Amino acid sequence: MTTKQSIPFIDLAAQRRRLSDVLNAAVLRVMDHGSYIMGPEVIQLEADLAAFCGVRHVVSCANGTDALGLVLMAMELGVGDAVFCPSFTFCATAEAVAWVGATPVLVDVLSDTFNMDPESLEKAIATARSKGLRPAAVIPVDLFGQPADYDAIERVATREGLCVLCDAAQSFGATYKKRKVGAVGLASITSFFPAKPLGCYGDGGAIFTDDDGLAGTMRSLRVHGQGSDKYDNVRIGINGRLDTIQAAVLLEKLKIFPEEIERRDQVAKRYNDHLGENVIVPTVPDGLSSVWAQYTIRLPGFERRDFVVSLKAEGIPTAIYYPKPLHRQSAYAHYPTADGGLPVAERLADEVVSLPMHPYLSTEIQDRIIAAVQRATFRKIGRQEDGVSHLSQAR
């Protein structure tokens, strides 16, 4: 089979072409004024992000992992503290917990939303106590762009005395029952990694909170723990500042972000409409919205490698987020897990595949992706190809 010309998995170049003039001007302004670190664009970005989410404070920083670390440091968590994290996620969530000396306790997820399972969280709390750890905080991850079940998680957290820190690295711009992501929990964090729905041209992150004291401490920690000036350090901190050029880029991207979210949602709905009979498509509970950082399907009963190879031959890239849950990775395998194991996380790791998703996917390219997925799955579900695609019949 001849491999067709490949399309991009995330087309950052399309957005760049759209914003070329304003981005070039924004970067040039920074080059002209010369405040490359913590310049005026950083201050403006923090204000604009706070207004976008409806929170009092935004503390920008160098990346999403630093954002997690800054909150945990400001909360003074450390040895003996248990922090509950989903196992089916990128390692940064648990990594930041280990940085401060606390213990990540790994929790299972729900098969329909991919997010933290509140029942497994309750089991994990019992596990932590049985090991002599103090349950201190929970970090739900809004995987692939949609918020976790915060009502249920907050009920458990309130009862057990846990602080809720929301890892919204993939979900910034989404909503949870009329609450913007960023306005949930004691604090929320996000990442501006280039591939994120709101991404810069390097690394970047931010923390959102209404807690005045927490925000003040994180601002100190972000700059080496400085006090009244940079040579009066009152705590051990990090070098976690956001570059001004990245802030300038984000200011321009934020202006079109709501439109891009809507475009992502339209692509996801079209995928769902045409692929629901072929694979397990993602679902978003009523009252929630997703920014579709990834569009992730499940392939139970399929040979995933064959599916990926089939799409690659048609020029359709795919990605697997994540092929191995944290509790199966060498660096995290020794940390506690919820009683009863994490069977859903393990099953999802074998079933998930992500398809191209970004705001600039044309209808033509969407059709090409949909048809390729249908061809890759027809035989497995007992359908016979007759030269007419299922997509064409559905129109």
- Amino acid letter at 131? K
30-50 mean pLDDT:
97
Q: What is the pLDDT, as a whole number, of residue 229?
A: 84
Residue whose entry in the numeric block shows the structure tokens 């809004």 = 142
Name the domain boundary from 201, 235, 252: 252
Bridge partners for 207 per DSSP: 59, 189
Q: Could you give the CA distance from residue 71 to residue 56 in angstroms, rounded to a whole number?
A: 16
Whether 7 maps to a domain, the answer reads no
Q: State the pLDDT at residue 389.
A: 37
Cis peptide before 322 (omega within 30 of 0): yes
Exposure pattern of 25-47 as b/e (b: 16+ CB <10 Å)?
A: ebbeebeeeeeeebbebbeebbe
The one-letter code for the residue type at 222 is: R
- The secondary structure element, H or E, covering residue 128 is helix 118-130
CA–CA separation, 236 and 35 (whole Å): 25
| 187 in a structural domain | yes
Q: How far apart are CA 305 and CA 313, in angstroms?
A: 12
In a domain, 2, yes or no: no
At residue 311, the pLDDT reads: 97
- Average pLDDT for residues 87-106, to the nearest whole number? 98
Residue 288 CA to its chain's centroid (Å): 15
Query: Based on the domain organization, do 191 and 238 belong to the same domain?
Result: yes
Lowest mean pLDDT among 84-93, 202-211, 225-234: 225-234
Q: Count Cβ atoms within 10 A of the Cβ of residue 104 and give its class: 0-12 exposed, 13-18 middle, 19 or more buried.
A: buried
pLDDT of residue 380: 58
What's the CA gap between 302 and 306, in Å, rounded? 8
Judge whether 275 and 369 are in contact, CB under 8 Å: no
Q: Among 54, 31, 29, 57, which Cα is nearest to 43's?
A: 57
- The residue assigned the tokens 């089979």 is 1
| Number of domains composing the chain | 2
The radius of gyration of the chain's CA atoms, rounded to the nearest angstrom, is: 22
Same domain, 33 and 161: yes
User: 151 or 386, which is more confident?
Assistant: 151
88 shares a domain with 104: yes
What is each CA distance from 340 to 75, 209, 263, 277, 366, in whole angstroms?
30, 34, 40, 32, 41
| Structural element, H or E, at residue 188 | strand 187-191
Confidence (pLDDT) at 5? 83
Residue 180 lies in a domain: yes
Which of 226, 252, 278 marks a domain boundary?
252
pLDDT band at 2 (very low <50, low <70, confident <90, very high): low
Q: For residue 379, what pLDDT is reported?
A: 56
101 and 245 housed in the same domain = yes
pLDDT band at 383 (very low <50, low <70, confident <90, very high): very low
pLDDT score of 385 more than 70: no
Q: What is the pLDDT of residues 159-182, one digit of tens each?
A: 999 999 999 999 999 999 999 999
Report the alpha-carbon distance of residue 37 to residue 201 in Å, rounded.
Answer: 15
Enclosing domain of residue 55: 12-252
Tell me the pLDDT of the chain averaged across its residues. Answer: 94
Q: What angle do CA 110, 143, 180 make, to 5 degrees?
A: 110
Domain-embedded: residue 286: yes
What DSSP assignment string belongs to 62-80?
S-HHHHHHHHHHHTT--TT
% of residues, the chain, pLDDT over 70: 95
In degrees, to the nearest 5, what angle opens at C-alpha 153 toward C-alphas 152 and 158? 100
Residue 247's pLDDT band, with cuts at 50, 70 and 90, is very high
Model confidence pLDDT, tens digit, residues 337-369 = 999 999 999 999 999 999 999 999 999 999 999
pLDDT at 4 (0 to 100): 77
8 Å CB contact between 302 and 380: yes
Q: Would the pLDDT of 304 be above 70?
A: yes
Do residues 37 and 176 share a domain? yes
Statement to judge: residues 201 and 317 lie in one domain: no
pLDDT at residue 230, as a whole number: 82
* Residue 395, pLDDT score: 27
Whether residue 331 is predicted with pLDDT greater than 90 in this model: the reply is yes
> Same domain, yes or no, for 177 and 316?
no
Q: 122: Cβ–Cβ under 8 A, 6 or more apart, which residues?
A: 156
Q: What is the CATH number of the domain that holds 192?
A: 3.40.640.10
pLDDT for 394: 31
